[in-house]
Amino acid sequence: MTTPAEIQFKDVDLDALAHAPGKVAVFIGADGKLEAGARKLNTLTRKSLARFVATEAFEKMAIGDLFALTWPAGIEAAAILVVKLGRRPSQQEARKAGAQLAKVQNGADLLVVAGSIAHVDEIALGLALRGYDFDTHKTGEKKPVGGVTFMVAKPEVVAKRAAPMAAIAEGVFFTRDLTNEPANILTTHDFAARLAAMQELGLDVEILEEDDLIKLGMRTLLAVGQGSLSPSKVVVMHWNGGGDDAPFALVGKGVVFDTGGISMKPAAGMEDMTMDMGGAGVVAGVMRTLALRKARANVVGIVGIVENMVSGSATRPGDVVRSMKGDTIEVINTDAEGRMVLADVLWYAQDRFKPKAMINLATLTGAILVALGHENAGVFSNSDDLSAAFIKAAGAEGEGAWRMPMGPAYDDLLKSRIADMKNVGGRYAGSISAAHFLQRFVKPDVPWCHLDIAGVASVKKETALAPAGATGWGVMALNRLIADRYED
């Protein structure tokens, strides 16, 4: 997998600045005051920093912005990276500053003179996250990976605070890699194998094959994958760090490719449907993060992995399928397949693990993009408490989330003439009727959230902490939710 930059924290050594290779970064607050490291560089480079701070260009920089002074005289480094940041930045300002450093590092060694600035661990996280580059399938010489060293006043203290951040970055990278992979690489076999490999981290991982799913009665999940040559699977990942407590459950949609089935999607943009397993990717990334940081909580992550293809054995519009729960579903649209996968996995999670609460994630509907664009995931819930806690955690991590309405009138849209329900509710309120479909497979006493991440899992333009493509949205928010709510 793609690995985050290896970041070291060392004592401040001002005498080493003259001979540091690559690039050197310093932080200067809006007041223009130069701290010890910046003063040393200013002296070495014939007052270049003082002259820059006095310019209109520095004055116009926003907090977290960066300006490169290239080929400064008096030092060996190729550039001084000036980041406008005060001594006590906010979390988001610190992460933005780190991300700006990553964008201009370009494979060079990077020495960051941080001194006693607050939230260096958050700066390092922003640098690590924005440094992601999915180049697995590019041939030719790979770009060099430069080392990153932070000079800080108390390196042992900062390194201890940064350790769980490194686990978060690795979890996010794992999610991004999975979501970015093409479907001929990330087959149902390969996806399950990558998750099984996390047993090395201490996760208990179980793979349920098609024979197991048939015995369990997961007919709605199997109906989605029956047109593909790739067998459907369910993977159960269990992190048991909280003693005998009932687990918190995460459930993910893992459609490795979605043609739409017989209700085939238009050709334009269908190549993007490699990301339709984004919900399962987030669940996997969270589980990796929990294992790496040895979380003191019991969490079970369950993903349904299928491929929705067109063939003579594919499910047809008009078919009626019985779920593991026992309800019958009239398939109106085979492109509404994610909810069919989740229906059985949600029921299985509750039936087997009796979770204290449950959140599912899915790139479920185009309708959520119409409602919220690429800025927020849609949050649907039967619990004010759980939804508020998640939205608070997402806000703290800078991951957009917005609660959407639910109500009996939307549920009525799912009425079927010949079965217990239809799998779609019509054109209007499409994301809401999809949430109501899922809620029918959630027991009334189980606090539950459905996160529709179709607009945030993968984007065409870079975001604050990620290049274009898979974002890893949700790993940080769910990790924080678990840390704040379910750990001792």
Q: Using one digit for the tens of pLDDT, what is the confidence trace for 240-299?
A: 999 999 999 999 999 999 999 999 999 999 999 999 999 999 999 999 999 999 999 999
**One domain, residues 62 and 136:** yes
In this structure, is residue 123 part of a structural domain?
yes
In this structure, is residue 369 part of a structural domain?
yes
**One domain, residues 304 and 256:** yes
155, 186, 218 — which closes off a domain? Answer: 155
Helix (H) or strand (E) holding 248: strand 248-258
For residues 403-432, give the mean pLDDT: 97
In this predicted structure, the answer to whether residue 488 has a pLDDT above a threshold of 90 is no
**One domain, residues 144 and 206:** no
DSSP, res 142: P
Give the Cα separation of 373 and 454 in Å (integer). 9
For residues 25-39, give the mean pLDDT: 96
* Sign of the dihedral through C-alpha 333, 343, 394, 295: negative
CATH number of the domain encompassing residue 455: 3.40.630.10
In this predicted structure, the answer to whether residue 140 has a pLDDT above a threshold of 90 is no
**One domain, residues 377 and 256:** yes
Whether residue 356 contacts residue 338, with contact meaning beta carbons closer than 8 Å, is answered with no
In this structure, is residue 356 part of a structural domain?
yes
* pLDDT at position 237: 98
* pLDDT at position 145: 83
Question: What is the amino acid identity at position 457?
Answer: A
**One domain, residues 387 and 365:** yes
Residue 481 vs residues 69, 252, 397, 478: alpha-carbon distances, Å: 41, 17, 10, 5
**One domain, residues 48 and 104:** yes
Longest dimension (CA), the chain: 83
* pLDDT at position 91: 96
Tell me phi and psi for residue 257, to 5 degrees. -155, 140
pLDDT, mean over the chain: 97
Tens of pLDDT, residue by residue over 248-262, are 999 999 999 999 999
Tens of pLDDT, residue by residue over 167-186, are 999 999 999 999 999 999 99
155, 189, 208 — which closes off a domain? Answer: 155
**One domain, residues 296 and 383:** yes
Q: Give the residue numbers marked as catalytic.
A: 265, 339
In this structure, is residue 164 part of a structural domain?
no
Give the Cα separation of 30 and 212 in Å (integer). 62
**pLDDT confidence tier of residue 379, bands split at 50, 70 and 90:** very high
* pLDDT at position 389: 98
Give the Cα separation of 258 and 304 in Å (integer). 14
Contacts by 158-161 with C-beta closer than 8 Å and gap 24+? 158/9, 158/120, 158/121, 159/9, 161/121
Whether residue 234 contacts residue 213, with contact meaning beta carbons closer than 8 Å, is answered with yes
Which tokens is 95 given?
């992460």
Q: Cα-Cα-Cα-Cα dihedral of 31, 32, 38, 42, to 10°? A: -160
Structural domain boundaries, residue 192: 169-485
In this structure, is residue 163 part of a structural domain?
no
CATH number of the domain encompassing residue 17: 3.40.220.10
**One domain, residues 208 and 357:** yes
Supply the DSSP string of 193-210, one letter for each residue: HHHHGGGGGT-EEEEE-H
Helix (H) or strand (E) holding 28: strand 23-28
Q: Quick check: pTM over 0.95?
A: yes
In this structure, is residue 74 part of a structural domain?
yes
**pLDDT confidence tier of residue 350, bands split at 50, 70 and 90:** very high
Tell me phi and psi for residue 341, to 5 degrees. -65, -50
In this predicted structure, the answer to whether residue 141 has a pLDDT above a threshold of 90 is no
**One domain, residues 97 and 174:** no
**One domain, residues 81 and 184:** no
**One domain, residues 129 and 243:** no
Give the Cα separation of 76 and 104 in Å (integer). 18
**pLDDT confidence tier of residue 142, bands split at 50, 70 and 90:** confident
Give the Cα separation of 277 and 180 in Å (integer). 10
Q: Tell me how many domains the chain contains.
A: 2
**One domain, residues 388 and 357:** yes
**pLDDT confidence tier of residue 406, bands split at 50, 70 and 90:** very high
Question: Is 477 exposed, middle or buried, given 0-12, 13-18 or 19+ CB atoms closer than 10 A?
Answer: buried
3-state secondary structure 56-111: HHHHHCCCCCEEEEECCCCCCCCEEEEEECCCCCCHHHHHHHHHHHHHHHCCCCEE
